Structure 1
Amino acid sequence: MKEETRPKTPGCARCAFEMPEKICVSQEGKGGKGCPTLLDKEVLEEANREYNIPEVRKFAQNASRQEAECYANREQRPYIMQPTKTRIVEICEFAKKMGYGRLGLAFCVGLAKEARLVTDILESHGFEVISVLCKAGRTFKKTIGLEESEQIFQDGDEAMCNPVYQAKLLNHEKSEFNILLGLCVGHDSLFFKYSEAPTTVLAVKDRVTGHNPLAAIYLSESYYRKVRHPDIVSGK
């Protein structure tokens, strides 16, 4: 198929080429339909110009350094990847590379125990931690127009998760780098929208799999095939 007739919508998830054969990895590589490396040169140039901004460049440099340092024995040839660092270790190391001292922790009330452990770990690395749980402020769900039937507990006022307050409070406290721990789908999105400091995710919420959402993906072709059938997936 000629390049100019390829669809414009990126479709990297459907790329049929193995990693060494991809055009985004090798100059001699190939790209499939909708390959953004082949088709979206103007957007790529626009994106790459952002790395000329000093603070963006520094952030990207340290992120790439952190990525590489997660693998041991990189001088070996041929090289087989040997990952060695957990995400909490990566977060601590990256924050130190950036010179951050004041970290924000926005967490779900259902992970309060984990938040305490995370705070202990961060403080042991010398960071100051400002932590805000999702229910802080006790704003009722009726404030945003929900009926009792739309609440988890339907026998009175229920406090809503308030990611906008979490973000704005951390903004007010001048956090330098924020960490999300188990916020709900959508609530995490609002936090990203309102946070002034850059934000990373330590763990996402999955109420069924012990906060390991990829478990459902790994089993989607076997024991959890129902996830592929929207008509039966919801609580059935």
Structure 2
Amino acid sequence: MYTCDSCNKISCKKGDMDNLPSNCPCREEDKIKEITKLYKEPQNYKIAHNSALVEAEGYCQLTRVQEIILFAKKCGYKKIGLAFCVGLLKEAQIFANILRHHDFEVESIICKNGAIPKSEIDIKVKEQVRPQCKFEGMCNPIGQAKLLNDRKTDLNIILGLCVGHDSLFIKYSDAPITVLAAKDRVLGHNPLAAIYTSHSYYNKKLYD
């Protein structure tokens, strides 16, 4: 069992291969060699190389929006797919305009695309977010991915897709994916706030 979360040595970060915990993934030498070879594949190399450059150049200087733009430019991506939640329409509009300002072609697809009723996935009216409504469209992340695949986007960006919906989008997207924001309606789309307050305000909520 790998338990990197409880490691105090962090030997991997320091390259201290003589002081590894007994269950350290670094001990999987044959597997690591095979994995390392994968970074030589052109697509993987481009992403890994340029993301490392962005990490160094933007470290504690650039926002995630700026880093995404810098990464996309370094990779030579021209057409950007934006898969966003209807609840973040305003944010999507601003972000798309910023991308276009930087000369990217933007293909944006909203989560409710296709107007597919939730009955298609056996959601009863009483199980809807708004049971008083006759029609409630389901989120369609597979549609977002498939439609962006048809447009042959170079990079797809997730903006606020729901838990699980993001999983399906990732599963069906042909293009590499990065995330601008993760959905958290309660915490203003800042999920780590629950972690930072796990020993105080959110302690009982998370450990009950």
Q: TM-score, normalised by structure 1?
A: 0.84
> 1:98 aligns to what?
75
Q: Is 2:153 aligned against 1:153?
A: no
> 2:34 aligns to what?
46
Q: Is 2:145 aligned against 1:167?
A: yes
List per-residue Cα deviations over 1:173-230 (Å, max 9, x = no partner).
Answer: 1111000000000000100000000010000010111000000100000111123324
> 1:55 aligns to what?
43
Is the 1:23–1:30 contact (alpha carbons within 8 Å) kept by the matching residues of 2?
no
SS across alignment from 2:39? helix
Q: Find the aligned partners of 1:152 and 1:63 in 2 and give their Cα distance.
A: 38
Which 4+ runs in 1 deviate beyond 3 A? none
Closer/same/farther in 2, CA of residues 29 and 89 from structure 1, 3 Å limit: farther
Q: TM-score, normalised by structure 2?
A: 0.94
Larger Rg: 1
Which runs of structure 2 are paired with 1:205-216 in the superposition (5 Å)? 205-216=183-194
1:154 shift after superposition: 1.1
1:24 shift after superposition: 4.1
SS across alignment from 2:14? coil
> 1:78 aligns to what?
none
1:28 shift after superposition: 5.4
Q: Find the aligned partners of 2:33 and 2:206 in 1 and give their Cα distance.
A: 37
> 1:34 aligns to what?
23
List per-residue Cα deviations over 1:44-98 (Å, max 9, x = no partner).
Answer: 1221111121222122111111111113xxxxxxxxxxx1000000000110011
Of Structure 1 and Structure 2, the greater helix share is in: 2
Return the match for 2:62 from 78, 85, 110.
85
Contiguous gaps of at least 5 residues in structure 1: 1-8, 72-82, 231-236
Q: Is 2:96 aligned against 1:119?
A: yes
Return the match for 1:196 from 167, 174, 180.
174
Q: Find the aligned partners of 2:16 and 2:142 in 1 and give their Cα distance.
A: 44
SS across alignment from 1:154? coil
Larger RCO (CA within 8 A; separation ≥ 6) = 2
Percent identity, please. Answer: 49
**Aligned residues: CA RMSD:** 1.4
* Counterpart AA for 2:6: R
> 1:131 aligns to what?
108
* Counterpart AA for 2:140: N
1:35 shift after superposition: 1.1
Number of aligned residue pairs: 207
Q: Find the aligned partners of 1:11 and 1:174 in 2 and give their Cα distance.
A: 39
SS across alignment from 1:61? helix
Is the 1:104–1:178 contact (alpha carbons within 8 Å) kept by the matching residues of 2?
yes
* Counterpart AA for 1:46: E
Q: Find the aligned partners of 1:175 and 1:137 in 2 and give their Cα distance.
A: 20
